[in-house]
Amino acid sequence: MNDIYSKRTKEQSERLVYDKISQKLKVQIVRTWQKFFKQLDKKEAEKLWSKINDIICDEHAKHTLLEDSFSSRYYESYRCQDYFESLASLKESLDVIEIVFRSIDMITEIIRRRFSFTSKDAEDELNERFIENDFGYKFTEGKIVRVDNQILHKDIIDKTLNLTLNKLFANANEEYLSALDHLKNNRNKEALNDSLKSFESTMKIILLDLRWKYNENDTAKKLIQICFERGLIPEYLQSHFSALRTTLESGIPTIRNKRSGHGQGPKKIVVPNNLASYSLYITGVSINYLIELFYEKKPSS
């Protein structure tokens, strides 16, 4: 039901947002935490919201989260919602998100009952909203962290896309963009497959252009071997880059072959987000390196 037109046709942002939080995202966050609290008895929920609001008041040095006294606004849940949606400070907004969603985790532990919308569901939906809105943060283990603190670095991705913009590498570029799109939408197995396709395409394009023989069905491991044998990586640098070769041979190909390149069997294979991110990062580094060496090796016309 949530696979809607505006999401499918949204252009991928070149930059994540770190310095502000949109009103749209705030409303979506409120609706996410409401899904959890609506499962509780109203009196029970209000007591919990009262404790949450006290914590926010203590930390933000407020006597109350709502100054007026309209009777319709006496609900503790509304006080927090109104305060959060009217906050101008990004840091204080992130404080509220942390406190509320950390509380949801604790409530699940304290009130031992079966919830149809669990704390994990709330966390997943929160992070999905962050991704949809190009918001450069993630809620994990009870804390808000910047996405750029993770291993997938934006400069590596940008550099890879710039290098593959050359018409010669059009296929590799298309596959790498596809891998990024899969990663953004949590299709991690597909991200692994397309990142490796891009890496293999890059090597095949280089070998073909330099007129070095290879078989169309050669795997990444064989293609890497040819690159070393033909001196794409200079001999005097081979010992220095032995660690790189190990990563190329056992990193990307092994991840894909073992985790997503074959049938799942009776047990469903789940590719963690950090594994998919690492795969795209190491692919980008490797593509950058090979293309730069290719341009050094290629005879000038």
Q: Which amino acid appears at position 35 of this protein?
A: K
Mark out the alpha helices in the chain (DSSP H runs). 5-8, 23-37, 42-60, 76-86, 90-110, 119-132, 154-163, 170-184, 188-209, 220-229, 235-238, 242-250, 252-259, 273-297
Quickly state the pLDDT bin for 30 (edges 50, 70, 90).
Answer: very high
Contact by Cβ (8 Å): 72, 90:
no
- Helix, coil or strand: residue 216: coil
Contact by Cβ (8 Å): 45, 77:
yes
Higher pLDDT: 151 or 173? It is 173
Would you state the structure tokens that stand for residue 45, as one six-digit string? Answer: 């929920």
**pLDDT digits 0-9 by tens, 107-166:** 988 887 788 899 989 998 998 899 888 898 889 888 898 876 454 556 667 767 776 677
Strands of 42-185 (E only): list them: 137-140, 143-146
Q: Helix axis angle, 170-184 relative to 188-209, nearest 10°?
A: 170
Q: What is the pLDDT of residue 46?
A: 92
Q: What is the mean pLDDT of residues 77-96?
A: 94
CB atoms within 10 A of CB 66: 19
pLDDT of 45 > 70? The answer is: yes
Q: What is the pLDDT of residue 122?
A: 93
The structural domains of the chain, with segments of one domain joined by +, span 5-148, 154-297
Contact by Cβ (8 Å): 191, 252:
no
Q: What is the pLDDT of residue 204?
A: 94
Q: What is the pLDDT of residue 165?
A: 72
Q: What is the pLDDT of residue 68?
A: 63
Q: What is the pLDDT of residue 255?
A: 56
Among 290, 142, 137, 284, residue whose Cα is nearest residue 212: 290
**pLDDT digits 0-9 by tens, 246-288:** 544 444 555 555 555 555 555 555 667 767 777 788 788 888 8
Radius of gyration of the chain (CA): 25
| Residue listed under structure tokens 């962050």 | 130
Quickly state the pLDDT bin for 93 (edges 50, 70, 90).
Answer: very high
Would residue 89 be called left, alpha or beta, if left means φ above 0 and alpha means ψ between -120 and 50 degrees?
Answer: beta
Q: What is the mean pLDDT of residues 74-94?
A: 92
- Per cent of the chain over pLDDT 70 is 75
